[in-house]
Structure 1
Amino acid sequence: MIAQPSCASPTMSSPKLKEVSVRLPKDYGRPDEPWHHYFTIDLIWTTLGYTVFHPFVSWVVCLCLRAQYTPYGAPEMRIAVAWAMAMSMIGIFNIFSDRIAFGRPREIDLAEEVIVITGGVDGLGGLLAETYGMRNANVAVLDTKKVGDEEAEDKGVLYYECDISDPKQVEAAAAEILEDLGPPTILINNAGISRPKSILDSTAEEVEQTFRTNTLSHFTTLRTFLPHMIKERRGTIVTVASVLGHLGAANLASYTASKAALIALHQSLRAELAQNPDAEEIKTILVTPGQMGTEMFAGLKTPSNFLAPVVTPAELAKDILRVIERGESGEIAVPLYAKYAPVMNVLPVGVQAIVRRLSGVDKAIAGSGLVGKTTSEKK
């Protein structure tokens, strides 16, 4: 009788598993925080949104009261029904409001999309690129930092060494992307630099470079990639700005001005796309985050962790991915105060001055020691 080799037999050669290097996220020297550090107004607001302010939960309360044989005429029953109806009406209003403003969502199939991310080696852009790469999406990154072929293959991302402030380099990279992956359908304009200096200390060259990278590059990428989206009759454009574009801040004039220009550019882009019948399926997303826990503003302390917590790249990336993959247009503003920052501009000037003093927004950069340092999200 001939003995058959078992599965564990050493004579059978097993395929060699590919080793994949894993890099832990950077913490930029931030120590572990106690539990109460994560107790913020954003956490409270999110919890309320899934409980007290949720229409479904509100109606469940009404059903629970009826299960206890609470009469319809009882005060608590009337209050519960009125609250549930109010939450339902607000929810319906928001659905219609979004539909009127942004139209119907488009269908997203990552296998059919070509994603271009500027500044996608580190920070928020790097996290987005690696996430899509792990999901076998077609991802192209434009960045000044060179990435090795082996590292790029491990991440499943194509990297193109490109200075997005130079239109010729962007056009050359676009031609390669078109040949390698096909027509781009998702553009995430993420790259940016910051030069914390007072207006008087800033040189003309520094201000120009900030605007070329933070603002003019968006015009370049739109002129380069938007025609392909219009031809394909589908697409998504993500504009990463900043809440400081609404507020401004001392020692950040060039940065905040360049981000304010992006907010206006986004609104103009939406208006132009609305007039083009071939752009009905092209969605736009404006991202205006507060302080992010990236290297750009490492060392900057938030005035109140409860009211103005630092946003991690993972939190912001999750929101961006969610809106993109729903095929929707929209605005992403985190943390909570960033959503209501534009209200500052309609408050009486005296109230604005008091809020700015209490928030410490104009003293934060000088107090953190960042003045004179150049930081970048496109390295």
Structure 2
Amino acid sequence: MASGPSPSPPLHHTTSRTTHRTQPPQPWHAHLTLDLLLRVLSNTLFHPFISALLPLCLRALAAPYTSPSFITTSAFAICVSLYWILEPINRRIAYGASRKINWEDEVVVITGGLGGLGGCLAEIFALRGVEVAVLDIAVARTKEAKKDEQDVSDGEEKEGVTYYHCDIGDYEQAKTVWARVMEDLGTPTVLINNAAIVNGKPFLELEREELERLLYVNTMSHFQLAKPFLADLLSTGNGGTLVTVSSVLAHQGAANLSVYAASKAAVTTCHNCLSAELAGFAPQIKTILVAPGQLDTQLFGNVKLRGFLRNFLAPVVGAGEVAVKIVEMVDRGDGGVVSLPAYARWIAWMAVLPVGVQRVLREWAGVDSQFATLSREEDGNAAEKTGEKNETKKDKFGVVLLREQPLRKE
């Protein structure tokens, strides 16, 4: 690990032409994670067919019906089989019947879709031949404004995706671009609110402009895009899918991420309320909540929890893996929740633990020591110039701290 912070890409937008970070070579045990273990168990020991073989094998060995081993394995097989039977029933009760999907009639709108998770989703949907619109502030306003041939400009169609320059935090601009999308592609049937920005700064150092900007992009944009989306679907009676991209930080915030975590908690709660409303009078509209842990995107590119056990429990998840899960759920016409890795599905239960235990776990995971402010790093750089020792560039685990970048003005 370098002694100082290495240059990092701007972290105020999820949009980037690179969909994931280039990972350095990792030791073999880095791929051994809790998710991998659970996946193996679900397809072996906790599969109904395999579990049913256990008591059958004991009977083949002439084990009596009253033997403890036969009774235990039979009970285990029954429990596993019941879980597999009841799980789809549970989903049906929770999210209703699946809506019918005809990809020829679907129009997908993705915010923040130039890279990261949004970029992966745009690529997958485009490969299916679906009309895809990407709304992103990083799309060049004009062809002349493109910095290189790899960039895209407003209104340009490339590889089955139509790109629109849009600051989704600006209500009037979002309203105008939405009308253009409907005119160009038709009525959207899938809306994926994905775009987000982040400030890794202590609460007292946040400027009002930064606070408002982050809340407008991360939270208000969900409201101002979902409203016309749902209004169009309800007026026509057609089905659709609304995807809300939140974060595991909505349940467990982190130091120096007060506004970001609050914005994600807000959209999570909004999703829950909206799902309850739609279930009553518009069951043909499905809602999907995406609450992943750390993705291999540039938004939190410098955050690295060190150690085998931390990587085992909370590995960095590929954006492509999450995108595939989302597309699969949309393809089935289902509503639900997508949470990867495994701990993200259980993190809310941490709140029931004693507060002291929660504190110890947070200290062990290092979740509150991963971010440094731009002002502190500037102070550290000044100290370097005067020959003083700088201790602010790494956390206590030796991890280079994340730098907060200034917001870009339109």
Please say whether Structure 1 and Structure 2 have the same fold, judged by a TM-score greater than 0.5.
Answer: yes
* Structure 1 pair 33–151 and aligned structure 2 pair: CA distance change class (3 A): farther
CA contact (8 A) 2:210 2:407 kept: no
Aligned to 2:314: 308
Kept in 1, the 8 Å contact 2:293–2:340? The answer is: yes
For 2:31, the equivalent position in structure 1 comes to 38
TM-score by length of 1: 0.87
In structure 1, distance between residues paired with 2:18 and 2:137: 21
Which position in structure 1 is the counterpart of 2:298? 295
Q: Which runs of 5+ in 2 are unaligned?
A: 1-16, 140-150, 373-394
User: Is the Cα–Cα contact under 8 Å of residues 154 and 163 in structure 2 kept in the other structure?
Assistant: no
The CA distance in 2 between the partners of 1:81 and 1:102, in whole Å, is 32
**2:232 pairs with 1:228:** yes
**For 1:272 and 1:362, how far apart are their aligned partners in 2?**
36
Asked if residue 331 in structure 1 is aligned to residue 337 in structure 2, the reply is: yes
Q: Which amino acid aligns with 2:72?
A: I
Report the Cα distance in structure 1 between the residues aligned to 2:22 and 2:319, rounded to whole angstroms: 15
Range that drifts further, 182-191 or 29-38: 29-38
Deviation at 1:49, TM superposition (A): 1.3
> Where does 1:89-108 land on structure 2 (aligned, <5 Å)?
89-108=82-101
Give the deviation of 1:371 after TM superposition: 3.9
Distance 1:258 1:354 in 2: 26
Instruction: Give the Cα–Cα distance (whole angstroms) in 2 for the partners of residues 332 and 26 of structure 1.
Output: 19
Task: Give the 3-state SS of the residue equivalent to 1:296 in structure 2.
Answer: coil
Q: How does 1:43-192 map to 2 (within 5 A)?
A: 43-67=36-60, 70-146=63-139, 147-148=151-152, 153-192=157-196
Question: Do 1:251 and 1:371's aligned partners in 2 also have CA atoms closer than 8 Å?
Answer: no
Shift of 1:360: 1.1
Q: Who is 1:370 aligned against? A: 402
1:51 CA drift (Å) = 1.3
CA RMSD of aligned residues (A): 2.3
Which aligned runs of 4 or more in structure 1 are off by greater than 6 angstroms?
A: none
Structure 1 residue 200: Cα displacement: 0.8
- The one of the two structures with greater contact order (alpha-carbon pairs below 8 A, sep at least 6) is 2
Offset, 1:93: 3.0
Mapped partners of 1:26, 1:236: distance in 2: 24
- Inter-partner Cα distance in structure 1 for 2:105 and 2:230: 17
Q: 1:83 to 1:59 in 2, by over 3 A?
A: same
The 1:58/1:152 distance shift into structure 2, 3 A limit, reads farther
Q: Tell me if structure 2 keeps the 8 A contact 1:194–1:374.
A: no
In 2: Cα distance, 1:129 partner to 1:375 partner: 25
Does the C-alpha gap of structure 1 residues 374 and 45 become closer, same or farther in structure 2, counting only changes over 3 Å? farther
From 247, 256, 264, give the equivalent of 2:261.
256
Aligned-pair identity (%): 44
Task: State the 1:68 CA deviation.
Answer: 5.0
Alignment partner of 2:247 out of 213, 217, 242: 242
- Does 1:344 find its partner at 2:337? no
Retained in 1: the 8 A contact 2:326–2:338?
yes
Instruction: Output the CA distance in 2 between the equivalents of 1:25 and 1:370.
Output: 19
Partner in structure 2 of residue 265 of structure 1: 270
Partners of 1:295 and 1:375 within 8 A in 2? no
> May I ask how many residue pairs the two structures share in their alignment?
353
Encode CA deviations 1:322-372: one digit per residue, 9 max, x unaligned: 111111111111111111111122222122112111111101223342243
Kindly tell me: are residues 68 and 152 of structure 1, through their superposed partners in 2, closer, same or farther at Cα, counting changes over 3 Å?
farther
